[in-house]
Amino acid sequence: MKVIDHIANRKDTLISFEIIPPQRGGDIKALLSVIDSIAKFNPPFIDITSHAAEVIYEETPNGLQRRVKRKRPGTLGICALIQNKYNIDAVPHIICQGFTREETEDFLIELHYLGIDNVLAIRGDENSFKKPLNYGRSINVYASELVHQIVAMNHGQYLENDLLDAKPTNFCVGVSGYPEKHFEAPNLKIDVKYTKDKIQAGAEYIVTQMFFDNSKYFNYVELCKEEGINVPIIPGLKIITSKTQLTNLPRNFHIDIPEELSEEILCAKNEYVLEIGVNWAAKQVEELLNNNVPSLHFYIMQNSKPILMLMDKLKL
């Protein structure tokens, strides 16, 4: 079922999750344990991140060697597992950065084979590897262009004309939103205009970047409405579990952490940080539930312990 159909048919606020594939050469058992633990909450869908190739420098007997490799492959296989073993709709992330439009089309065709009808289209983070564009290949620079490509496939329009048996796909396309603005946007209002471009291209819902101050989400929703964006806007939530995240999260995701929360964590012993993070998230969740948000989307990656503590606290 499509994400927008889950939202349309809901009686209460939904609960969804986002996970990350294991590192290259790793073991999927730990991830399966995470999926087992969150499946009992009956999430209608689970997002799975995608990762482009990166430049890795490794020490060898001959000195530093530059290698290009994907550190976290496996998105397609995990999607198939979630959809067929757990009967939960999988939402793979489709990214511009590091993939040609031709590779994107191939990936979407494989998803279509598997009966996966949902994707999240994002630009992706810049990294040190620039995909060489040989043999006339091309790239999507912005997420709005990626949405255009996916929607074109939904209308049976492929990059090559020789796909004689190609049928139209039927993807429900989600995109990202930034309550504290994308770090490259000059201000939030212009960033919302960029988001509108993605909606006009055919995206059907928005999942926000993580935030720790609900007022920023509510303000973002109002700005989107003023701009004429009327699709569901799903709040993205993260539970802080360590003191290092007070610096890592703002650096990597360009977000603010409220002074009250950061001071409480900094003054606490390490063993109490998780409890503080869960309590803060519980307050966020209660307010969001009272405002009947379409879904609560938790960024859990490969650690389900915090979300289990939160669900137990909230009796969800």
| Residue ranges of domains in the chain | 3-314
Total-model pTM: 0.92
303-312 residue pLDDT tens:
999 999 999 9
Give me the phi and psi of 116, to 5 degrees please. Answer: -90, 120
At residue 54, the pLDDT reads 56
What pLDDT does 162 receive? 65
For the cut 60, the answer to whether the pLDDT of residue 128 exceeds it is: no
Average pLDDT, the chain: 92
- Does the CA dihedral 263-266-269-272 come out positive or negative? positive
Contacts of 190 by beta carbon, 8 Å cutoff, 6+ apart: none
- pLDDT: which is higher, 123 or 61: 123
Q: 178, 122 in Cβ contact below 8 A?
A: no
55, pLDDT greater than 60: no
Burial of 116 (0-12, 13-18, 19+ CB in 10 A): buried
CA 239 from chain center: how many Å?
Answer: 16
* 129 confidence band (pLDDT: 50, 70, 90): low
pLDDT digits (tens, 9 = 90+) for 89-107: 999 999 998 899 999 999 9
Q: Which whole number is the average pLDDT over 110-134?
A: 84
pLDDT of residue 133: 75
Q: How many percent of the chain have pLDDT more than 90?
A: 80
CATH topology of domain 3-314: TIM Barrel (3.20.20)
Contact 82, 48 (CB under 8 A): yes
